[in-house]
Structure 1
């Protein structure tokens, strides 16, 4: 039995293996990539190959990018060679940290350009190699086809066609090979320049590291050294002559290399001047009390503003500028900026501010003296001492001066006096360090202080320009014609000025960090802090997410307020809607924007909205019991807004409370009573309890005045008399007309009710009092005895 079972199992296993072998797909025989073309298809394939060759020529032809590389690479190579030859001398002159950073920026800019060219050439070479492979396969196919049909009796024209096609393919391959060789040569030249740029950046990084290691080392002669003064005297003439020559060569070279950018820069200055002149004519028609004083001051000096702003833009217009160009830009922009910033100081400090501008201007050109190291050191110390004393004097004077509109015209934002104090202290500390011979530390502190002061000038002017732009947009059409903008213009200008000033201050904080060449480290640290995560379970958020959440929620509030103001000021007054509908739509838009903003803010936190929905559903029951009153009031508020049983401005009575509805909110509504109290009534009470709305259909109110006359009085005469008095009152409506009714008689006399209508609901008590006095006087004059004149409001 066991042997039979083994035999059966062996047979089953054999059949299974055989079935699997038959069922498994067999690999198809490999097709020859270069299969010969049948003779019958030669004519048709010839046309296809001709079109293919034309396409290959088009694709392999050099495009605009290749032409630009061929034209610009020699110029860039020359500039790199020139800077490479000067780099050892520059590094040997013991440059400051900002100077090293400037060198690194220039070399990194050229390195970035070379990287872009290298990527373009690499992609170009890959495409040409692919086209070359296609041509090789095509040539092999036609070669095999020619070999196959050599023994066949074919027309000579067909053989000539095949030979011609092979010749065309060979010529195309030759052209592509030639273009590929050109690309490879360019790629090699670019790689050579990249290696040189990498070497330069490595040398600069090494010099920067050595510089920071030597900050605490005395590397220059102290100020009291006679040798320092003797060397400086010997370097005076040659130093200034060399500085002027270096400046002229750099500026002239920049003019030749970037003539188009220079023309664009000049055109930008003229265009900005024209815009400011036009803005001055336009703004002159506006109310001066509604505009910012700084904007007025700048518009009164359009040439200075345009020149300062145009020069401030130099680093972006000339991205590969030399230090001489940067120094020239600073020199040209300082005095126009000073002229604009006279608005920030009292009139007595204008000369001090101009003197400080001269300090900044001298510091802008001082680094050009770097070969004359001792002369440059003395000028640096003079600059630091003068700058520290001038800024300290201005700080002390403005501190003692009483704050007035002329002493400071910058509304809101960070104060200027603490910044001035920090600058003064930095100037003087740098002077003390330089006086003792710690030149590298002095240069680092001096550069941070000078660039911070220069950046303060630039940022203040730019902020004023942006404020001018905001004011112009808010006053000019189309926004200036909107009622919502006219009502909130002053508030928007004030908030915009505050926001722009703080943005400028935050931007200014990066300047001393950049001057100290630690901005990259500061940015990396800030990123680390913002990316620091915290949370619980699957929910993890970062500080950056929280800040983004807050910014989004704040933006949603701002947007909802703007939309609501525009709806109430410009849309609803032009659209005929039922009373109360505008308020409902405005509140609905407000809540919708806040809801969308909250959802977007939650997504920035990285929270899965599906999980949030589940959690809300889970906690909803428990929260519902705890906050059912709040939820009930919210739902009732929506009912009041859309069903509109009461509207803002209606006169209502809820229990003993009577007054005018002033506001319908989310949780409660505000009713202003006749005694001047604001009563907050929960919305649920207005929906579920009895509410009397005296002005639901119209604002007419009936006033009842009860009169008791003597028993002997003529009822008809009494009614005619009191109705005539009511008709003569200016606040009593003619329709329906006043009416008097006899409602009873007794021992005290005849009782009448005078019923009048008025649409002056707010004067109902006064109207009743005036009618009572007039009726009493008239009855007395008519010798009609009466005992009482009174009434209720409203009646019936």
Structure 2
């Protein structure tokens, strides 16, 4: 049985038939006028004639070409028909099989059927639908080709029939007339054969559509029965335990039947999803090979931090970790819902790998209680494989519930004993589950006693599965955090400047992203844990999607959540993009620091603005309704927000003109300091005494700004000094130049200059003018030069005078 949608031989034959159709439909030469476009829709009349007379040679050549094309077409059609000849028999066999499989639906309610039989039936119906669609495609292709060839033959038939009119037959040789009649007969025969094939293909297509409709109806019946079974979970399905009686069918008789049903379901699943199963197995080998390949490198890189427990699964249990990752993620992503037997096998694999990895995770202190919970998980999975049907099975569920209560109490104690460093989101969630579990199991025990067996079983199964999902999530998250640690400490540190500068921040952000991702994955898995969780999610979805009105706007909690979530995500994305641009992209590009800062700032605000509009659209708000809001905002800007808009526009001017950049030393009015931030509304300047001053951008645009580091970061420093009048001016100048040459902070170009500036009241005044390479350090460099000048003058014995006044005392002779 072939289920391929495309066949190379069929494609080749289709190309051949299309080429033959082009030959049959094309005019033979420039002398021929083709039939009108609507010739097929008009009856052929006796006075039909060729618009231009053709020679006997042309007509004979045309007849030969048509005859040869008909032979080739006949061969191609027969070969093409052989490709679909087995389809009617296959449809008969499928229809007979379908009637057998749908027979129980006419006598038994879906609710009363064995669930493994229901699973097998749904998988079979899906496989039959895909098979019918494949056959439908092949028959539709054949029907299209037959219809195209039928139209081509009909055109040639009308052409040769028009030649045999009374106007054209006169003077035509009898042999040619006989030849034309033979071609017409062959065309008529070919057209009839094609019509019969086309009728058969259309009949099979109609039958396929009818069978697909029957399958869809059966699928709807089965799915509605499953929905009814979900609703019946909350009801009392059996009598109380004190009225229960043993079933007439023993467990020894029921077990083989249940196992056969489960195995049949697995076999049908394997036949139906062969390609998906192969892809899943390939993914297992890919994950296993990747971890084993990376393990030596992980061991080498973790040599200095072997105490890091997040890396231990890769080092000590790589195979168990790979199988766990595959068992949790692979079937969930690559396969449709698994039958019960395969779900049990998957549960066993997860339980064994988790038990192997328990000593290596942060919850290792509660290994005994977690091992017991894993055993409980396996037992509840086996209950799905062998559903309870009698009093003994209810007693077994009661024992499992009682054992589970003690296990969860022990698990809660081990969780509370963990150190505060290990108490994270999953610890809190596990503590909540361990605290609530005894009450849930008590409810299940009450349900088993009173007769709500299905409800109690679903409670036990859901609780065990949620617990194992949490434990598996912890293991996978810690493994991913180990990979993040390796990335930050190894490849990321070499590749990214941001990680080199902020390794702790990068590790914290990656850990947060991993935790958020795992939490979302955990929430997405919960509906598939149990039908109770699925029903709970459906009810929550109905509640959160119900609309409420605020004036003329209709919203729902989901819309509000989408608005807030989209806005928060937009803010974080904008911050991340800006941080990446500032730390890793712009430093690698040959652009000025101010230009890069302006570009990253504008990109940030553009992303935030786009995120706001996206959030509004995601919440269902019509953006066209924002016109009134924007109009009101424009009026508000015109009256009350003039200063803000002025500062905003000034910020844009500063961003593009760049009169100063971040890090420049500016002076405006009485303020002098280094620019720390250029915002869209205001800029921040740090003064020399450490004060942070917020300066509106409009003041920076309107006022005078002195930029000491606009073209370069050099600055001139003047050191003034006065010496005694007895000093040699030439010697003083030499000493000052020597001090400048010996200073490491003084530039040699422009050259230092020592100037004799004048005669003071008490001293000869000199000025040492030097240039330094970093204007921001001028106070400290000035102090150092003053100190060096003082030491040099003292060493040379040159006095730095202080102001002196000579007081002449005149005696008064008259007083004598």
Normalised TM-score (structure 2): 0.75
Q: Which residue of 2 aligns with 1:33?
A: 43
The aligned runs of 1:34-53 (5 Å cut-off) are: 34-35=44-45, 38=49, 44=62
User: Does 1:383 pair with 2:400?
Assistant: yes
What's the secondary structure of 2:676's corresponding residue? strand
Bigger shift: 163-172 or 270-279? 163-172
Question: How far apart are residue 626 of structure 1 and its match?
Answer: 1.7
Q: 1:351 aligns with which of 347, 363, 368?
A: 368
For 1:105-126, what per-residue CA distance to the aligned partner results, in whole angstroms no more than 9, with x for missing partners? 6477458647856975896798
Question: How far 1:133 sits from its partner (Å)?
Answer: 7.8
Match for residue 276 of structure 1? 291
Q: Which of 781, 804, 814 lines up with 1:767 in the alignment?
A: 781
The reply on whether 1:493 has 2:510 as its aligned counterpart is: yes
Report the 3-state secondary structure (helix = DSSP H, G, I; strand = E; otherwise coil) of the residue aligned with 2:684: strand
From 760, 766, 770, give the equivalent of 1:745.
760
Distance 1:593 1:56 in 2: 65
Report 1:389-468 matches (<5 A): 389-405=406-422, 415-456=429-470
Q: Hey, what's the Cα distance between the residues in 1 that align with 2:525 and 2:604?
A: 36
CA distance in 1, matches of 2:581, 2:144: 58
Match of 2:700 in 1: 686
The match for 2:377 among 360, 364, 385 is 360
* 1:242 shift after superposition: 4.3
Which residue of structure 1 lines up, in the alignment, with residue 15 of structure 2?
none
Change (3 A) 1:485 1:690: same
Partner of 1:696: helix, strand, or coil?
coil
Q: CA deviation at 1:497?
A: 1.0
C-alpha distance in 1 between matches for 2:507 and 2:457:
45
- Using a 3 Å threshold, how does the CA distance of structure 1 residues 300 and 348 change in structure 2: closer, same or farther? same
* TM-superposed deviation, 1:314: 3.6
Tell me if the contact between 2:725 and 2:763 (Cα under 8 Å) persists in the aligned partners: yes
- CA distance 1:55–1:595, shift in 2 (3 Å): farther
Match of 2:421, SS state, is: coil
Cα gap change, 1:419 to 1:486, in 2 (>3 Å): farther
Where does residue 237 of structure 1 map in the other structure? 252
Distance verdict in 2 for CA 1:631–1:281, change over 3 Å? farther
1:327 is aligned to 344
Asked if the contact 1:412–1:498 (Cα under 8 Å) also holds between the matched residues in 2, the reply is: no
Q: Take 1:108 and 1:378, find their aligned partners in 2: how far apart are those partners?
A: 37
SS in 2 for 1:415: helix
Q: In the alignment, is residue 307 of structure 1 matched against residue 323 of structure 2?
A: yes
Distance in structure 2 (CA, Å) of the matches to 1:749 and 1:83: 120
- The equivalent position to 1:705 in structure 2, one of 719, 722, 738, is 719
Query: 1:633, CA displacement in angstroms?
Result: 1.6
Question: Aligned residue for 1:297?
Answer: 313
CA displacement 1:490-518 (0-9 Å, x = unmatched): 25412421320231233134235744553
Q: Classify 1:615/1:139 alpha carbon distance in 2 versus 1 (closer, same or farther; 3 Å).
A: same
Deviations 1:240-271 (A, max 9, x none): 44444545555456556766655544333222
Alignment of 1:580 with 2:584, yes or no, is: no
**Matches for 1:189-200 after TM superposition, within 5 Å:** 191-192=210-211, 194-195=213-214, 198-199=217-218
Separation in 1, partners of 2:40, 2:739: 119
- Give the match's secondary structure for 2:745: coil
The residue number in structure 2 matching 1:21 is: none
Quick one: distance in 1 between partners of 2:135 and 2:438?
A: 48
Conserved 8 A contact 1:132-1:173: no
Distance 2:110 2:40 in 1: 68
RMSD: 5.0
Q: Secondary structure, in 3 states, of the residue corresponding to 1:641?
A: helix
Give deviations 1:404-443, integer Å, cap 9, x for gaps.
34xx6x7789733224444554334223311333212223
SS at match of 1:733: coil
User: 1-side partners of 2:388 and 2:781: how far apart?
Assistant: 96
Q: What is the SS of the residue equivalent to 1:219? A: coil
Q: 1:501 to 1:220 in 2, by over 3 A?
A: same
Range moving further from structure 2, 35-44 or 632-641: 35-44
Equivalent pair of 1:548/1:604 in contact (CA under 8 Å) = yes
Q: Using a 3 Å threshold, how does the CA distance of structure 1 residues 148 and 515 change in structure 2: closer, same or farther?
A: farther
Q: CA deviation at 1:685?
A: 1.5
SS at match of 1:690: coil
Q: Tell me what 1:155 maps to.
A: 174
* Residue in structure 1 matching 2:642, options 604, 625, 628: 628
Residue 645 (structure 1) aligned with residue 659 (structure 2):
yes
Q: Which residue number in structure 1 is paired with residue 207 of structure 2?
A: 188
Q: Tell me, in whole angstroms, the C-alpha distance in 1 between the residues paired with 2:731 and 2:586.
A: 52
Structure 2 spans left out of the alignment, 5+ residues: 1-37, 804-816
Structure 1 residue 681, shift from structure 2 partner: 1.2
Separation (CA, whole Å) in 1 of partners of 2:306 and 2:719: 53
* Partner residue, 2:196: 177
Deviates more, 1:119-128 or 1:321-330: 119-128
Q: Which structure has the higher relative contact order (CA within 8 Å, separation 6+)?
A: 1
Question: 1:730 aligns to what?
Answer: 744
SS in 2 for 1:698: coil
Q: Quick check: 1:456–1:508 contact (8 Å CA) kept in 2? A: no
TM-score, normalized by length of structure 1?
0.77
Give me the whole-angstrom Cα distance separating, in 2, the residues matched to 1:291 and 1:137: 85
Residue 273 of structure 1 and its aligned partner are, at CA, apart by 0.8
Query: How far apart in 1 are the matches of 2:403 and 2:511?
Result: 36
- The structural deviation recorded for 1:277 is 1.7
